[in-house]
Every structure is written in structure tokens, then in C-alpha cells.
Amino acid sequence: MKVSLNKKILDKNEECALQNRALFHKIGTFCANVISSPGSGKTTLLARTITDLWGRLRIGVIEGDIRTDTDAQKIRATGAPAVQIETKGSCHLSAEQITRALGSIDAAILDVLFVENVGNLVCPSAFDLGEQSRVVVLSLPEGDDKPIKYPGTFAKADVLLINKIDLAGHVDFDIERVIRHVRTLRPDIAIFQVSAKTGQGMEGWYDWLKNKTDRL
């Protein structure tokens, strides 16, 4: 019997993901895996979320990047705890990396733990990290064809944040087309049109988060 190396890797990842999910359930921390292309505004959006919800939700972040801890520094500047994972070339985070990172952040004191995945819309969607929800960020400058090009990522998402909505009318982006295509992939997905820069539409996203933490 032959077992592919890829299957072995995914099986091991699934085992770690189950352990992570059990831990999050035990300590009552809501974990969200945040996926997007580079430049979508993930870090800015998370920093704004932390700042706006300060005193209402205790939030921490695990950052994933190929190199540098630039994004972790931006998160720490808000006063929130952040752990940086450098993947050294890998295009995604793994559940095992999250397990190790949890040794450097006290997730038990947090209401929400965001995992900001490596920036791309392909590899991260194949790896369960043990999160309770997946959040995809899509910004207007990227174009409205991403759900068609990367259906697997959008089909597995629980939330779509259409970011940089303040640029509507200035870039070629059909919001209704995106919503229509995404809902064919995931009919029950929550969609919020937001601007991390101006704060437009962010309250709906915050209400969604608060609802998730209230259920734990």
C-alpha cells in the first residue's frame, strides 16, 4: 500500500488541528484564521479591530510571514500580545506551528485569537489550524475576480471582509458580482463591506465577533 507524502503531511496536520481546537474550546478562546492576498490590509484591519474593541474584547494575534516580524510589531504597538512565526519560505502556516506558538502567548486570557496567515489565496486554505472560523479579506484594488479564480478559499470561509470600501468608485470592482459569486460557493457566509482606514462598516464585523465570543 502506497501513501503519498502529501497525505501524511495533511494527516499529521489534522491531528494537531484537532488538539488545537480542543484546547480553544477548553479555555473558551475564539480562534479565527485570517486569509488573504498580500496587501489586502489584513494587519491594518486587525490593528483597528483591536484598538476599537479595547476594553470590550481581549485580543491577541499569531502572525505568519515568510520573513520579518514587521506585522507583529504593528500589532504590539496597539498594546495587544503578538507572536511572529517566520515560515522561511513556506506559503502557509501549519497546525503544528500554531501549537508551538501557543507556548509564547497566553491564549487562556484572551477572548479572541487571530491567526494572520501567510499572504496568498491558495496554500493556506488546505491546512486546518484548529480555528473555529475562517475569515477571508478581499480588498477592492485586488479586483473582483478572486472568488472565481480561488473558489476553494472562499468556499471554506465563514466570513468575507470586503476591505478598502472607501475606494469604491475609484477602482474597477463590482461588489455585487463578488457577493453573488461568493454566495454560490458558501450561501451562509457573513459578508461585511469595511474600511480599516476610515472605520466604515466595521461595527457589523465587531458585532459578529462579539456574538461568537458570547457563545463560548
d(CA 32, CA 62): 10
- Residue-wise pLDDT for 163-212, tens only, equals 999 999 999 999 999 999 999 999 999 999 999 999 999 999 999 999 99
Looking at the predicted structure, is the pLDDT value of residue 7 above 90?
no
What residue has cell string 477602482? 171
Looking at the predicted structure, is the pLDDT value of residue 42 above 60?
yes
Q: What is the reported pLDDT for 11? A: 87
Q: Domain extents for the chain?
A: 5-214
Helix (H) or strand (E) run with residue 62 in it: strand 59-65
What residue has cell string 484564521? 33
Cell numbers of 194, please?
469595511
CA neighbor of 205 nearest in space, from 59, 18, 2: 59
| C-alpha separations of 62 from 53, 138, 168, 175 in Å | 18, 20, 31, 30
- Residue-wise pLDDT for 142-166, tens only, equals 999 999 999 999 999 999 999 999 9
| C-alpha separations of 171 from 36, 42, 97, 140 in Å | 19, 19, 37, 7
| Across 10-27, average pLDDT | 95
Q: What type of residue is 90?
A: S
Looking at the predicted structure, is the pLDDT value of residue 68 above 60?
yes
CA neighbor of 131 nearest in space, from 16, 24, 15, 9: 24
d(CA 190, CA 193): 10
Based on its alpha-carbon atoms, the radius of gyration of the chain, rounded to whole angstroms, reads 17
Crossing angle between the packed helical segments 42-52 and 202-214, to the nearest 10 degrees = 70
Cell numbers of 192, please?
461585511
Cell numbers of 1, please?
500500500
Cell numbers of 115, please?
491567526
Homologous superfamily of domain range 5-214:
P-loop containing nucleotide triphosphate hydrolases (3.40.50.300)
Helices then strands, counting H and E runs in the chain, come out as 8, 7
Q: What is the DSSP letter of 105?
A: S
